[in-house]
Structure 1
Amino acid sequence: MARSPRSATHLVHHLEAHHFLKPSVIPLKTDVPQLAEYLWAQTTAYQKAALQSGYVQGLKSVALNPEGFGGYMVQDSVFCFKAQGNIDIAVTNATDAILRKFLEARSESYKAYYQSLFDTWHIEDASGIKLGTECTEYVNHEHNVATTMNSIYFVVAMIPCAKLWPWIGQQINAIGGSFGVYDEWVKANFNPDSSGVEKYEKLINTAEQDGHIDRKIALDVYTASMKGEAGFFGSIKVK
């Protein structure tokens, strides 16, 4: 079973040449936490809500109603369809060549994934699927970031999922545990390896240090994405 591109970080290699992944010439402020650490610390309530959601706990206990799993997957396929459109907007607006290349690769990965899910779940037309309120709000949030902000903030918007899902995997012992019919999905998507997201975090840390990210704006973007994750998980019918 394919891993969702929302949590996958294997395309981070497209960013390795970026100057934000090299040491900044601007001295680091030692009296405040770095941006990535700060953003994660400020969103613990949503992280816990995602972990304690009926969807995640249902997967953990192998008690999730199959209807709930199907409902999540069908919505997630359309979420990724719409997310690809948002990424393409971010690509169009990107002035940074390396970020543009990275986002282009992300777009292709989303397209391949949602097309695979459309085949699996017999979806011919995404417009025929009604998304729940929480999923719709998440899509709209990403659309707003893509259309109104510098492309570096789209990276900020992607980090919550990329960091949250491995963290959930750690909490539920995704690798060592047994999840019945959901075992393959849990092990693929909640894999606790978070090495890729660390590069995303280094990128935004240096971007802020060099004056390309405003901490308050980043917090708003990051929080909305983390809220979207928790809300989407929490919206799924589990009984």
Structure 2
Amino acid sequence: MDIATLLTFFLLCISSATAHNDKEQAAQPDGYLSTRTCEGTQDTSSSDTCSIEKSHGDNIYLSLWEKSLDQAYQTLNLDFIQHMEAGDLPVDRYVNFTIQDIYYLVKVTDMLKNMSTSVKKPEDLRQFFQGRYSSYKRFQDHLLSIFYRKGVSDIKPTPAMRKYVSDYETIMRTKEPIYFAVSLLPCSRLWVWLANKVDMAPSNAYYAWKKDNMGGRPEKHYETLLNKYLTLNNTEAYHIFRTQMQNEHDFFATS
């Protein structure tokens, strides 16, 4: 890829923010990922107190996150995130990151299509997967059109991305559908948190990433559902959540 093409691609990447965030925005016309909330109010501070306090109740949605904060901080401290925050991340690294994210989006959308038709009961879980698929599909189509792509068959996934997608596929094939919902949550939860943590001025070339990813409310789609079907002592849910948090970490670490 020559320099002119690379710069053009970079500008497209920045203008479209990120695949992870926008698929949530497409999912909720009223607002995919506004700031992290506590008691229904926005929390843009650096404190994680509200989540930690609430997770002492019977809220596995919050407990999953609390017990994985170590992984969140490890991701925040990665070279890729730190250089984004400083505004000196090389363009080619962000472009490659975005290409891999497009691959992720298309593969996860395909799996959500499968879940949206295969899950018949219970009704709220069926509606969850239909809603997630509709959201991801709209954004996938939008993103592919922006980059003039028909698919991702020519994108070679990195080892980290290949493992991430493979773990999704294994969960889809071998676990109850509620666990696939759990597997989707780390992406949504982590990106909001990272965007609120990084200190970027509007003049930073990557400020659009921060701005767009700050705006999300994953609890709108996940909290009631997970708390209804999972208990705090569900070790499988914690294992899957931490596995996917590690996959997110490794995606950033190898970008």
TM-score (norm 1): 0.77
Equivalent AA in structure 2 for residue 141 of structure 1: D
One-letter code of the match for 1:102?
F
1:96 paired residue number: 122
- After superposition, the Cα gap between the structure-2 partners of 1:155 and 1:162, relative to the gap in structure 1 and judged at 3 Å, is same
Q: 1:148 to 1:91 in 2, by over 3 A?
A: farther
Distance, in Å, in 2 between the alignment partners of 1:6 and 1:102 is 18
**Counterpart of 1:140 in structure 2: which amino acid?**
S
Deviations 1:192-223 (Å, cap 9, x if unpaired)? x55442651232123224xxx97111011111
SS at match of 2:173: helix
Alpha-carbon distance in structure 2 between the residues aligned to 1:73 and 1:200? 25
In structure 1, runs of 5+ residues without a counterpart are 14-29
Q: Which residue number in structure 1 is paired with residue 42 of structure 2?
A: none
SS in 1 for 2:205: helix
2:252 maps to amino acid: F
Instruction: Output the CA distance in 1 between the equivalents of 2:122 and 2:236.
Output: 19
Q: Choose the corresponding residue for 1:220, options 239, 242, 249.
A: 239
Residue matched to 1:57? 82
Q: Quote the residue 1:185 is aligned against.
A: 209
CA distance in 1, matches of 2:209, 2:101: 13
Deviations 1:121-170 (A, max 9, x none): 44344111101011111111111222222221122111111111111122
Question: 2:95 maps to which residue?
Answer: 70
3-state DSSP of counterpart to 2:89: coil
Question: C-alpha deviations, 1:170-199, integer Å up to 9, x for none?
Answer: 21146xx3252222232112x1x5544265
SS of alignment partner, residue 126 of structure 1: coil
2:108 aligns to what?
83
Name the counterpart of 2:188: 162
- Quote the Cα distance in structure 2 between the aligned partners of 1:142 and 1:214: 22
Mapped partners of 1:165, 1:197: distance in 2: 13
| 1:76-112 Cα distance to aligned partner (Å, 9 max, x none) | 1111111111112222331223322232232232223
Give the secondary structure class of the aligned counterpart of 1:56.
helix
- Aligned pairs for 1:9-158 (under 5 A) are 10-11=27-28, 34-94=59-119, 95-158=121-184
Q: TM-score w.r.t. structure 2 length?
A: 0.73
Query: Is it true that 1:235 corresponds to 2:232 in the alignment?
Result: no
- Preserved contact between residue 89 and residue 147 of structure 1 (Cα < 8 Å): no
Residue type of the alignment partner of 2:176:
N
Identity level (%): 21
Contact 2:168–2:180 (CA under 8 A) maintained in structure 1: yes
Equivalent residues of 1:156, 1:222 under 8 A apart: yes
Contact persistence 1:6–1:161 (CA under 8 A): yes
Q: 1:124 to 1:70 in 2, by over 3 A?
A: same
Matching residue's letter, 2:171: V
Contact 2:18 2:209 in 1 (8 A): no
DSSP 3-state at the match of 2:230:
helix
User: 1:113 deviation in Å?
Assistant: 2.3
Give the corresponding residue for 1:197.
219
Q: What SS does the corresponding residue of 1:181 show, helix, strand or coil?
A: coil
Give structure 2 stretches of 5+ with no counterpart: 1-14, 31-54
